[in-house]
Amino acid sequence: MAKDLSKTQWHGIPRMEIEWFPKIVEEKCIGCQLCYVSCGREVFEYEDATRKALVERPYNCLVGCTTCATICPTAAIEFPPKEFVQKLEKEYKILKVVRQIAKEKKTKKEYEEARAKAESILNSVMTNIEIEATGHFGERRIIPKIYEAIKNDPCDVLYLNIETPGLKSCWKEKAPSYCRFRLVSTEYGDVTPYLQKIKTIFKENGVVLVSENRIS
Ligand code: SF4
Ligand code: SF4
């Protein structure tokens, strides 16, 4: 369905009160359809029977625009003179409204920029990371050491999972265990410094970091 822009306003003036739209000089129109396909506001229709363009939705036309007249190959499209718009601007004192709209536009732009900046900061913050590591978790008491290191930090270790080839083989034969957990911020902050503490514990205790996957 074609859009209807006739109920909109042009800088505070109801669009229906402004007699700005194209008129087609029928004898000059060769039915090339350039205006019909070019106008993004769906002002025109094309009539197969007469092979002419029609101004079907005049109040959809953007006040001040004359693009279709410029591109019409036979100069079949006419508009009121530009003084018509200038007179309108004076009569309705639209510059005051325009200033207000410009202010709102600027505020919106600033808001959007601030939001984009905040999103980019948030995206660069790592709040939830999954760690996989292998080493002597039981014998070297890795988990209690991690707890001690981060117990006062705004983060926690979740979904802790340790797999051993067997308790006895871990202790007797020094077989490594596999461990997986998530380091999660409890304040939606960056967990990088706490992750660093854990990595230091790994390093000091011969634990090999298999992978670290950022979750968010
Ligand atoms: S661009 Fe001009 S000639 Fe072509 S259909 Fe439109 S009015 Fe007619
Ligand atoms: S002047 Fe612009 S908006 Fe109006 S009918 Fe022509 S192309 Fe469409």
CATH of the domain at 63: 3.30.70.20
Residue bearing tokens 């930090």: 153
Mean pLDDT value across residues 208-212? 95
Write down the pLDDT at residue 25.
97
Q: How many residues does the chain have?
A: 216
Whether 119 is in a domain gets the answer no
What's the Rg (C-alpha) of the chain?
35
Specify if 103 maps to a domain.
Answer: no
Whole-number pLDDT of residue 193: 93
92 within domain boundaries: no
- Of 46, 81, 116, which closes a domain? 81
pLDDT at 216 over 70: no
Number of domains in the chain: 2
Strands 128-135 and 177-185: antiparallel
Span from the CA of 66 to the centroid of ligand 1 (angstroms): 13
CA of 61 to the centre of ligand 1 (A): 16
Residue 98's pLDDT band (boundaries 50, 70, 90)?
A: confident
* Ligand 2 atom at minimum distance from 43 CA: 5
- The domain in which residue 45 lies consists of 9-81
Atom 6 of ligand 2, residue of closest alpha carbon: 68
Q: For ligand 1, what atom is nearest to the CA of residue 30?
A: 3
Reading the block at residue 26, the tokens are 């029928």
Residue at which a domain ends, from 61, 81, 101: 81
- Give the end of a domain, one of 81, 99, 119: 81
Nearest ligand 1 atom, CA 44: 6
For 122-180, how does the pLDDT look when each residue is reduced to its tens digit (9 = 90+)?
777 888 999 999 999 988 999 999 999 999 999 999 999 999 888 777 777 788 999 99
The average pLDDT across 97-111 equals: 87
Residue 31 near residue 53 (C-beta atoms within 8 A): yes
pLDDT of residue 16 exceeding 90: yes
Q: How far is the CA of 89 from the centre of ligand 1 (A)?
A: 29
Q: Is any ligand 2 atom within 6 A of the Cβ of residue 53? A: no
Task: Indicate whether 209 and 137 sit together in one domain.
Answer: yes
